[in-house]
Amino acid sequence: MVGQTVTMTVTSEAVNADLLNHVTDFLHARGERMTLPRRSVLRALAARTGHISAEQVVADVAELVPSVHRSSVYRTLEALTAAGLLQHVHLGHGATAYHLVKHAHPHAQCTSCHAVVDLPADLLDALTAAVQDQFDFTLDPLHVALSGICPNCAHTQQATSTTQH
């Protein structure tokens, strides 16, 4: 339930302008253009906090610029992810969420309330190296969220189990 963990926020025009300028400069340095679909997707992502589904990005872009086709939004999400400007992560039951990033990092998701937590970028480096050394297997720790129970849900579950006994 990606949509349950996201709330709309009011993002200042200055923040949006800075973001668009940064991305525009980055794309121009690579010989690419800031197209209407790219600008629309970035505006939609910058207007929200947290990790949002592709479908929510499509819906938000449709509200902002109805002429941008949903296939353009999906292609833009893929292109911006490949460029390292967005990160996508697969959450519980295969849902994919996107968010703007400066540096890619692993995620954890609560199996109870579905909250998503950004983890430090180097948190799983030792585990990744150990799996490579011991099993000759290369992990991609940034692609899928780790699952577990957040502190709030753990506390609620503990309180519930204590009152039932």
Which is more confidently placed, 77 or 27?
A: 77
β-pairing verdict for 116-118 and 107-110? antiparallel
pLDDT band at 17 (very low <50, low <70, confident <90, very high): low
Determine contact, residues 142/104, Cβ cutoff 8 Å: yes
How does the average pLDDT of the chain come out, rounded? Answer: 84
3-state secondary structure of 70: helix
pLDDT tens across 76-114, in order?
A: 999 999 988 888 988 877 678 898 887 788 999 999 998
- From residue 93, how far is each of 96, 97, 147 by CA, in Å? 9, 12, 11
Which is more confidently placed, 51 or 20?
A: 51
pLDDT band at 3 (very low <50, low <70, confident <90, very high): very low
| Average pLDDT for 136-150 | 91
pLDDT band at 15 (very low <50, low <70, confident <90, very high): low
Query: What does pTM read for this prediction?
Result: 0.72
Q: What is the pLDDT of residue 142?
A: 87
**Residues in CB range of 69: below 8 A, 6 or more apart:** none
| Separation CA 61–CA 39 (nearest Å) | 10
Q: Which two tokens stand for residue 8?
A: 């709309």
* 16 pLDDT higher than 60: no
- Architecture (CATH level 2) of domain 106-165: 2-Layer Sandwich (3.30)
Q: What is the pLDDT of residue 50?
A: 81
pLDDT band at 61 (very low <50, low <70, confident <90, very high): very high
Determine contact, residues 127/141, Cβ cutoff 8 Å: yes
Q: What are the extents of the domains in the chain?
A: 1-102, 106-165
Record: fold of 1-102: Arc Repressor Mutant, subunit A (1.10.10)
Alpha helices in the chain (DSSP H): 13-29, 36-46, 54-64, 70-82, 125-135, 151-164
Which is more confidently placed, 21 or 65?
A: 65
Determine contact, residues 27/33, Cβ cutoff 8 Å: yes
Nearest 5°: the CA angle 45, 30, 24 is 40
